Every structure is written in C-alpha cells, then in structure tokens.
Structure 1
C-alpha cells in the first residue's frame, strides 16, 4: 500500500460501503466531465462545404435577380 493522502474523506458521520461507493461513482463522473471539457475541441469549419442540389434552380436566366451582378 502507498502512503498517499486519500482523495476524499468523511468529516462527520460514518458512511457505510454503499454510501462510499455512491460517492465514489459521483466524483468519478464529475472528474470525467471536467477532464472532457478541458481538452481542446477540433476547429469547426465556418460554413458547410456542400450544398443541396434540390435547392439550386439549375438554370438562371441572364436577367434573373438571382444571378450575380
């Protein structure tokens, strides 16, 4: 056994094995959440690199308001 300090301790009262297991589970989940948010996220592209063909008219007349000026 190592002589390191415990990660948490019960200050008042006496916790049984089930209560200690529940406390350990909650603290483990909280530590995992904190660790997951600390990692830098991959940068997201500013705009989608695709477009829906069904939203594209296919043909625009030269005098249409949708053509570029």
Structure 2
C-alpha cells in the first residue's frame, strides 16, 4: 500500500482561517483531506513555537544543589 504524503505547511493559513470561523478540527480535516489529529497538531504548532520564544527564563530541572556552608569566611 502506497503512502499518501502532502506538504501540510501550505495549509496552515487555511486551517487557521477556518478555525477562526468556527469550524471544528474534524470538519477542517474532511475539507482538506487530513485527519482530525493532524489538523489539531497543526493548529497547536505555531502556539508552541511562540510560547518557546516568549519563555526567557529557562525551566529548572532536577534536584536543587545542596547549600554549602561558608567555611572559608571562618578561617
């Protein structure tokens, strides 16, 4: 069975316009020939990119470092 592949980036503006008009992801997918999950991910992708650009403070990961007592000042 051959794989159907389409460049989805060309449809971003059309998907966003239809979403603003009130169409559901399923309706948009049926009109353009994509699945509901593909449309949903394409509508989320620009929001994630914008959120990454706006995040100026990196998220801290892992366990915080132990606080070392200041031994040098006592000497």
Structure showing greater radius of gyration is: 1
Both structures adopt the same fold (TM-score exceeding 0.5): no
Report the TM-score when normalising by structure 1.
0.36
Report the TM-score when normalising by structure 2.
0.34
Greater fraction helix: 2
Greater length-normalized contact order (CA 8 Å, ≥ 6 residues apart):
2
